[in-house]
Homo-oligomer: A and B are copies of this chain.
Amino acid sequence: MRAEILSCGTELLLGHISDTNATFLAQSLSSLGIDLYFVSQVGDNLGRIVETLRRAWERSDLIVMTGGLGPTEDDLARESISTLLGETMQMDPQLEANLRENFASRHMAMPERNLKQATVIPSARVLPNPRGTAPGWFVEKDGRIIVAMPGVPREMYRMWEEEAVPRLAAYTGGSIFTRLLRVWGLGESTVEERLDPVLHTTNPTLATYAKSDAVDVRVTAKAESRTRAEEMVAEMETRVRQLLGHHIFGTDKDTLQSVIGTLLSTCQRSLAVMETFTSGLLASTITSHPGSSHYFMGGIVAWNPELQIQMGVPRETVEQFGAISPETARAMAGAIRQRFGVDYGLGVTGVAGPEQQEGKPAGTIYVAIAGPHGIVDGQGPGWRASREDQRRLATLAALNLLRLHLEGLK
């Protein structure tokens, strides 16, 4: 199956955004065993979109489009497909009702121009979009497929994985099974070095991807049956786990926060945090896991060091060792544990940069856990990264320390 990606949006041609949707789709097509030969970006212009679509229609079996499904005059994906195929867009009563209900539930009047988001053509089936007002289209005609999805990444990702990929399975033949092994604490090149003995196999294939919250190792097997593909992935997973050990914190949709969530829930333990330079990112990451209200009490963001003291860190500790020190991190963890009456208190302090603070360089991170069996602490490796990245990395370092502690590894 020969595939082609077409991304619509003048913002791409003005360089306002990079086409990361194409990157995401390219990875996914590769793991599905579908050959991708061309990617194009076109502005919001009917003639140019149709021209590009027509060329794609001539040479590819599958065209994956993103963008151009919004309600405005600039959104021309539906019109382009209709023009290409010579079919007329018609109102779908069910889609129209959904759309009106969506606006009504938000107590908003629906602009008339939104109505075109409720249209469809005879060759298209509708792909639902629970995250937005633009449904997608799955078009099948003359042995070819067009999948049209919104350009907003979080809407597109969900629609692709939950709606489009299952429909494509009928065309790819054989069975493909993929598993992600999620790694924290090793860089991507170190992961590749350690995986060298198995990295160059052809089935299953291994690929590594640096993500914002992990390095992912993707294991993909192709076989005549799903069961066989799953077995092949499981065998490879065993070998990968031997090579990477406890750096693998989870699989597939696991995150560090979901893993500690499960551990805390299972043991019926509670958690609270005191953080300085991560400034709420630690609390918001922990609570992004549904069900966190069962174990997470809350937190203190001590942006001003006076707040550390007001919240129970001894003034002598801060004055003697500094607000950014292992001693203060430990005192923060202990203070929050006591003050909020939880099983585990987590304290995080450090320097986001770009300037140093208290003589400590940007990237300095001190983490401590106060728990039923005393205090455990850790130190970040001092990455050189942007201010936002330092905060993200410190948050993950803190969660990983807690994960290792709860798993009895630290």
Interface residues of A (CB under 8 A from B): 10-20, 22-30, 36-43, 45, 48, 52, 55, 70-74, 102, 105-108, 111, 113-114, 131, 152, 154, 187-190, 192-193, 207-210, 278-288, 290, 292-293, 296-304, 306-307, 310, 340, 363, 381-389, 391
**Which residue of chain B has the shortest Cβ distance to A303 in the bound complex?**
B298
B293 touches A297 (CB 8 A): no
Q: What 10 A-B pairs have minimum CB-CB distances, sorted nearest first?
A: A280-B280, A15-B26, A15-B27, A280-B283, A280-B284, A39-B41, A279-B287, A298-B303, A299-B301, A283-B301
Cα(A114)–Cα(B297), bound, Å: 43
What residues on B are CB-neighbors of A210 within 8 Å? Answer: 70, 152
A291 nearest CB across to chain B (Å): 11
Expressed in whole angstroms, the Cα–Cα distance for A296 and B303 within the complex equals: 7
A192–B44 Cα distance when bound, in Å, is 16
> Are A40 and B38 interface neighbours, CB within 8 A?
yes
Residue of B nearest to A178 (CB): B14
Q: Across the interface, which residues of B come within 8 angstroms of A209, CB to CB?
A: 11, 16
A221 to chain B, nearest CB (A): 14
Interface-central residue, A16, A301, A307, A389, by most chain B CB under 10 Å: A301
Supplied contacts A13-B37, A297-B307, 19 more A-B pairs, CB within 8 Å: A11-B207, A14-B27, A15-B22, A22-B41, A37-B43, A37-B45, A40-B40, A70-B189, A74-B207, A111-B190, A111-B193, A113-B193, A114-B189, A131-B385, A278-B284, A279-B284, A280-B284, A280-B299, A301-B301
Is the beta-carbon distance between A282 and B283 smaller than 8 angstroms? no
- How many copies of the polypeptide does the oligomer hold? 2
Which secondary structure dominates where chain A touches chain B?
mixed
- C-alpha gap A240/B73 in the complex (Å): 19
**CB-based contact A287/B280 at 8 Å:** yes
A282 to chain B, nearest CB (A): 7
The residue from B52, B73, B187, B363 contacting A38, defined by CB atoms under 8 A apart: B52
Tell me the minimal C-beta distance from A344 to chain B in angstroms. Answer: 14
Once the chains bind, are A18 and B14 in contact (CB under 8 Å)? Answer: no
User: A189 contacts which of B28, B38, B111, B189 (Cβ < 8 Å)?
Assistant: B111
Q: Which of A38, A108, A285, A385 has the most CB of B within 10 A?
A: A38
Question: Could you write out 30 A-B pairs with CB less than 8 Å apart?
Answer: A10-B207, A14-B36, A15-B28, A16-B27, A19-B19, A19-B39, A22-B41, A37-B42, A38-B40, A38-B42, A40-B41, A70-B210, A74-B207, A102-B384, A106-B363, A106-B381, A111-B189, A113-B189, A114-B189, A279-B286, A280-B281, A280-B299, A287-B301, A292-B303, A296-B303, A298-B300, A298-B301, A298-B304, A300-B300, A300-B301
